[in-house]
Structure 1
Amino acid sequence: MEFWGAEVKVGEIVKVDNKESDVCIHLSQVALGESKKDKPSEPVVVYLKVGEQKFVVGTLNKEKFPQIALDLVVEKEFELSHTSKNASVHFCGYKTSVADEYPLCS
């Protein structure tokens, strides 16, 4: 098991290319970073795109929901993005062997 994390800055998309065929990435948390401006809370929609399918992971809010616990396992290349115009969004989790942790994925 190995820690994994990525920061998605304002207006960017982060492409995660998992080249290790026997490894899954387990996304376990997403959180808002510090805001560039001290503006009222904006809802921030967080996305995960796998192949041609784009999924809403959740909606963050600085005041009410600054972080969300996840339990998502991805073994392919994927993209992370969000709608914030004022703050980065941080994703974290861990890499794990498909055979050890998720025998049904292999």
Structure 2
Amino acid sequence: MTNVAASDVSSDGARGRGRTSTAVVRRSGVRCDLWYNSPMPAKKSSAKKRVAKVVIGRERFAKISAVEGISPSTAMRKRVAQFGRLGLSAAERRREIVKAHKKG
């Protein structure tokens, strides 16, 4: 296989759907037309970063809070006990907490 220098190649650019281009290679006085067609779009870089999600249980959260000097109020403890008795889902618990702290 012969290596072709960039100066030996000219291109007429992309046309039509996908990436279609033709290139003319001149090497030792011989003209060779190359044609490239790819229906795939150009590769897009993904700026999304994967973030690990960690769920901390109640007991672990209580231990962390205790180390930081945070303790739940009496109203908070009653609310959590009520959620347990009612068997509320996580979404329902969040909704009730928001409702309790909502102003107005």
Same fold (TM over 0.5): no
User: Which TM-score applies when normalising by structure 2?
Assistant: 0.20
User: Which TM-score applies when normalising by structure 1?
Assistant: 0.20
More strand by share: 1
Larger radius of gyration: 2
Q: Which structure has more RCO (C-alpha within 8 Å, separation ≥ 6)?
A: 1
More helix by share: 2
